[in-house]
Amino acid sequence: MIALDLLRGETESMSRVTRSNVAFVPLGTPLLAGPGAIAAIMVFMRQAEQSDQRLGVALGLLGVLAVLYLSLRFAGLLQRLLRQAGIDLITRISGLLLLAAIAVQLVVDAVRELARADL
């Protein structure tokens, strides 16, 4: 539902919640390093058999952390540069990408189950 609201540009409901209570801000932290991200790193490290592959996973993780740090560090500057119209555009695009990712995953899961049922 949140992705549909982002796609339609209806961000007012989310902004009212965050403005009314500052305690909701720490809820964003698990999205940055949640169980999915931790499990992905564990799987990639387990699949990496050689030390250069492990180094590649570690460098990828450091790259993501650097991009995340820079984007959070300069969020105020980005907000001034993009203005409200740019932020709304990025919000809608991210909602569209989220919906597309969920739809693709549902189709892949359905095809996988269909192929499994035929065997």
Task: List C-alpha distances in Å: 94 to 38, 63, 71, 76.
Answer: 22, 21, 16, 19
Q: Work out whether the CA dihedral 31, 81, 96, 67 comes out positive or negative.
A: negative
pLDDT value at residue 35: 80
- How far apart are alpha carbons 87 and 16 in whole angstroms? 17
The tens digit of pLDDT for each residue in 19-68 reads 545 555 555 566 677 788 888 899 999 999 999 999 999 999 999 999 98
Asked if 82 and 90 touch (Cβ cutoff 8 Å), the reply is yes
Model confidence at 96: pLDDT above 80: yes
Contact 54, 48 (CB under 8 A): yes
The SS3 of residue 34 is: coil
pTM above 0.85, yes or no: no
Q: Which residue has the higher pLDDT, 2 or 77?
A: 77
Residue 95 and residue 5 in contact, taking contact as beta carbons nearer than 8 Å: yes
Answer yes or no: is pLDDT of 74 > 60. Answer: yes
More confident site: 10 or 78: 78
Give pLDDT, residue 9: 63
Helix (H, G, I), strand (E, B) or coil at 21: coil
